[in-house]
Amino acid sequence: MKAIVTAMVANLQAKPDAASELVDEVLYGMTVDIVKEVNEAWVYVQTAYRYEGYCQKTDLLLDAAIASTWQREAQHVIRQSFADVLQQPRIQSTKRLTLVKGSFVKVMSLKDVPEEWSAIQLVSGQTGYVRTKWLQPKISVQALSEAQFRENVVETALSYLTAPYRWGGKSPLGIDCSGLCSMAYLFNGVYIFRDAKIVEGFPIVKIDQDQMQKGDLIYFPGHIALYMGDQLYIHSSLGGNEVTINSLDEKHPLFRQDLATTIVAVGTFFQEKPNI
């Protein structure tokens, strides 16, 4: 059965216990599959990118029919770090809720809505209004050239620059290394594996480091970064406490020897064209 995330950010935990390890976050409007019901408060779920964990029922709308319709029709993504959804299309209006970057919403065609505003339908069925420039349509990777995809992925990652590090995080409130890379790809129509390793069945394949291009992924022991070109990479660094940029060039002021000397793999989306 499918369900929809209704919380701004729904935690996926390692155990059905709010004090257990945070393994992932699923954002508002994303759908999940209920693998099993654990008890009155918890379910075990699988995300669209096949990551699993325990989620509190209070963060979900458990309605398969609505979830299936929502999955088809919620074709826009919040691109602003934080977006207030208002009751009316004017800045003085009362807020319905706040959404974070990466949340899925359904845009509605309503009359007499000012151009700078968009009407959206929430999971609850309520109508809200956000600034039009804070939305982007979901991107199909097939519509992008390789060059454009690579540029987009880097630009998306850069939009999280200085976001604080959070283990298991995946929003501007806090994001970890694999969360940053997976969101950079998700915004551009590709689901990659959520953790810092290359896994068969996902659309990233290993290449030699000398083949690395902008938008490819760099893997270290327990860590992942996104290559920007010119020997620079962006990553959410536990050691640096936030999303930051470093260099593989030992002469560069942003060089990190601990990472530059411990690369275990480089992965790309473009070595072979996967079926997605």
Selected catalytic residue, list 55, 76, 181, 223: 223
How far CA 75 is from CA of 50, 99, 106, in Å, comes to 20, 15, 6
Active-site residue flag, 76 = no
37 φ/ψ angles, rounded to the nearest 5 degrees: -90, 130
Selected catalytic residue, list 55, 76, 181, 235: 235
How far CA 147 is from CA of 38, 154, 167, 216, in Å, comes to 45, 11, 31, 12
- How many Cα atoms within 13 Å fall on the side-chain side of residue 146? 9
Contacts of 10 (CB under 8 A, 6+ apart): 25, 26, 27, 55, 56, 59, 60
Selected catalytic residue, list 55, 76, 177, 181: 177
Whole-number Å distance between alpha carbons of 193 and 82: 25
Active-site residue flag, 252 = no
Residues forming beta bridges with residue 107, ordered by sequence position: 120
Asked if 131 contacts 99 with a C-beta cutoff of 8 angstroms, the reply is no
Return the active site residues: 177, 223, 235
